[in-house]
Amino acid sequence: MGDAEQREQQRTSRRGSDARLAEIERAFLVVYPLLGECARRQMPLLEEAREVQQECGAKLWAYWTRDPAGFEAPPDPRRFAERVVRNHLTDLARRGERWAALIDADADVDKLAVRGNPDPYDHAVGRELEERVERYLLEMPEKRGAAWKLRYDGYSYADIARKLGITESAARSHVDHGTAFIAERERKYLGEGR
């Protein structure tokens, strides 16, 4: 392919791309005010509605212009705008629920433990306990130790039963007996004063 053919192909490609961007812009100019209307119906304060409109608009523009060739204008812009705002508000509510679950508003901030920075003493004691439990597991019958370890790792009794080829009630029994065994060994360990 010669230089002249390449330049012509680039110009044609640019014109097609420019036409798609112009089409996206026309659709955006129709949808953006509708986002504002929908947000004002949902939000109590005008400033909050404007924020939602801007956030939805920014996301929509970024999404539409990422692949202009695959863009299709929404057939019903009003319903589309309502759906975009509703989805955005649902996402905000879910994020808020997650934060509320993580943050205790009544907690004494000075007494909160900071994750990621364990107290060295607690870390050493925890590691020591883990090592003792590992030794206790080796003293147990094989299936009992395996069932207890799987339960400790978060497996359900049904999963443990499937993995070990036993019934669910046998899995519960192994875990219960394993817990009792570890508790007894710990009482002896702590009673001996190490």
The one-character DSSP state at 112 is: P
What does the pLDDT look like over 108-129, one tens digit per residue?
A: 655 555 555 555 666 666 778 8
Q: Which residues are within 8 A (CB) of 42 and not within 5 positions of it... i.e. 6 or more apart?
A: 49, 52, 85, 86, 89
Q: Is residue 53 within 8 Å of 35, Cβ to Cβ?
A: yes
Q: What is the mean pLDDT of residues 141-152?
A: 90
Q: How far is residue 97's CA from residue 177's CA, in Å, rounded to a whole number?
A: 39
Q: Give dist(CA 3, CA 10) in Å, integer.
A: 11
Type of residue numbered 126 = G
Tokens of 167: 């019934």
Q: How far is CA 66 from CA 23, 63, 97, 127, in A?
A: 14, 5, 31, 49
Which pLDDT score is estimated for 112? 54
Q: Is the pTM of the predicted complex or chain greater than 0.85? A: no
CATH of 120-191, one of 1.10.599.10, 1.20.1050.40, 1.10.10.10, 3.40.50.150: 1.10.10.10
Q: Residue 189 contacts by C-beta under 8 Å, 6 or more apart in sequence?
A: 132
Residue 52 near residue 90, CB atoms below 8 Å: no
98 compared with 160, residue with greater pLDDT: 160
- The one-letter amino acid at 68: P
pLDDT at 9: 61
Q: Which range (29-38, 87-96, 118-127, 148-157) has the least confidence?
A: 118-127
